[in-house]
Amino acid sequence: MSVSKLKEMLKPGIHAHLVGIGGVSMFPLSEMLMNRGIVVTGSDMRESDNVKFLKAQGVRVVIGHLPESVEGADLVIRTAAAHDDNPEIVAARAAGIPVFERAEALGALMTDYRHALCVSGTHGKTTTTSMCTHICMAAELDPTIMIGGNLPLLGTGYRIGGGDTIVLESCEYCNSFLSFRPTVAVILNVEEDHMDFFHNLGEIQQSFRTFAELVPDEGYVVANADDANTVAALKGIDRPLMTFGLEQSADFTARNVAYEKGLPRFDIAAHGDFLCHVELSVPGRHNILNALAAAAAARCMGIEAPAIVRGLEQFGGAERRFEYRGDYNGARVYDDYAHHPGELHTLLSTAEQLGYDRIICAFQPHTYTRTIAFFDDFVKELSRPTQTVLMEIYPAREENTTGISSQDLVNKIPNAIYCATLEDTEAALRSIARPGDLVLTVGAGELNRVAGRLTAKH
């Protein structure tokens, strides 16, 4: 069933049952639906704070996945983690109740907005979506927001606004962003990733191109002119195109770039003319590109320069994106979500510019397939720190059918040590860290808990 058909169904009084309602992306979706007068029920595997909040609002939430939970529903919306063998999904289909993915529901809802800004890319999505959020808030657009990480400005990863603007972080995994309906589609970069779903780079590029082609004739595609894979993916596209970059000729670029204590200061030029001067509070060359992407998207939506400057300069970083967690034994501890070699390269390049005596990097690989697919690249990047501490691979959705281990990486990386558990990793960092060090806890798994333990005040 199409997104347009779902749009027709989402009327006040309709009963929508959400499978996995307490999840980081499903929970805000439930609020969006309720704001439209839709009757919402749901299920989840555990009693979380989100579930308790919904119950306090009078929403019926069942703990566990029981077939009878879908009774009386007009439609079911499921989290990506709820597969076809889920008892609720099986029961819904047996009863003829239509089942939709979360991304399809968001795609149907975003057609109500004048501006639907969707930020995609292999890397940098959360940071750039957060920058766009700051700009839209500075412009007083009262936006609805969906981010893949927590943003201090919001105190969470989402916001339900009353304006005509929605801003969403948009992921290519399983082609989920192809259910969205962007009026402005940002593509930050295109690289090989999620090779458990995609077969090759060409398939990934085609996915991003299809995403860009969802933009209407009066919308815009905002693309990185410096990224060859993005340029190739969009070659000959018949949509209005706005480019940003530092190396290649682009519609939006940075001039007079300087750094103060690692933080970029620069002028933004739009179509060759001065637009504004920006002083970022987040380090690294990559954040200049992220800021250019956000500024270009903002101008496509008609936002003026003063709000762009306020938004970018007030952005201090998103949770787990080079996030300062505190000090331990005189060392500065930062946490980062990087889990792809390209992200590691950017992170370590930024860290190397900051003037610390030593860089100590604790890394937890994320999924067995990614570790195998990019093994040599991980070895190359993780050989850069003064000391690398490798925790065992975080499996996420996978089972280890190949026997791959972080120990295999350690065997190839100079100055690397292996830690099987969080406790071992914490103990190793406590023994290594000293004044003048930069300690990084890195990965998309559970290693961020070590950063919290190291910097906890007792």
Range from 12-21, 64-73, 164-173 carrying the lowest mean pLDDT: 164-173
The per-residue pLDDT for 173 is 73
As a whole number, mean pLDDT of residues 205-227 equals 96
Is pTM beyond 0.75? Reply is yes
Does residue 43 sit in the same domain as residue 150? Answer: no
Domain boundary among 314, 334, 365: 314
Domain boundary (105, 128, 150) is at 105
Give me the percent of the chain exceeding a pLDDT of 70. 99
Residue 195 has pLDDT above 70, yes or no: no
**91-105, 188-202, 287-301, 326-340: least confidently modelled range:** 188-202
What CATH number is given to the structural domain containing 343? 3.90.190.20
- In this prediction, residue 324 has a pLDDT band, given cuts at 50, 70 and 90, of confident
Within this chain, do residues 256 and 345 fall inside the same structural domain, yes or no?
Answer: no
Final residue in a domain of this structure, among 87, 105, 123: 105
Q: Tell me, what's the pLDDT at 444?
A: 85
> Do 251 and 296 share a domain, yes or no?
yes
Residues 343 and 443 in one domain: yes
Asked if 160 and 256 sit in the same domain, the reply is: yes
pLDDT reported for residue 2 = 65
Tell me the pLDDT tens digit for each residue of 94-117: 999 999 999 999 999 999 999 999
How many structural domains comprise the chain?
3
Same structural domain for residues 64 and 172? no
203 pLDDT exceeds 90?
A: yes
Shared domain check, 120 and 95? no
Average pLDDT, the chain: 92
For the ranges 191-195, 223-227, 324-328, 351-355, which has the lowest average pLDDT? 191-195
Q: CATH number, domain at 52?
A: 3.40.50.720
Do 228 and 328 share a structural domain? no
The pLDDT value recorded for residue 56 is: 94
Active site residues: 125-126, 169
pLDDT in tens, 403-433: 999 999 999 999 999 999 999 999 999 999 9
Task: Show the domain range for 447.
Answer: 323-455
Residue 304 has pLDDT above 80, yes or no: yes
Same domain assignment for residues 328 and 195: no
Q: How far is CA 177 from the centre of its chain?
A: 12
Looking at the structure, tell me whether residues 143 and 279 fall in a common domain: yes
Q: Are residues 372 and 240 in the same domain?
A: no
Structure confidence by residue, pLDDT tens digits, 139-158 = 999 999 999 777 888 888 88
| Same domain as 227, residue 155 | yes
Residues 439-456: tens digit of each pLDDT: 999 998 888 899 999 998
CATH code (residue 310): 3.40.1190.10
pLDDT beyond 70 at 458: no
Q: State the pLDDT at residue 424.
A: 94
Q: Over range 61-78, report the average pLDDT.
A: 96
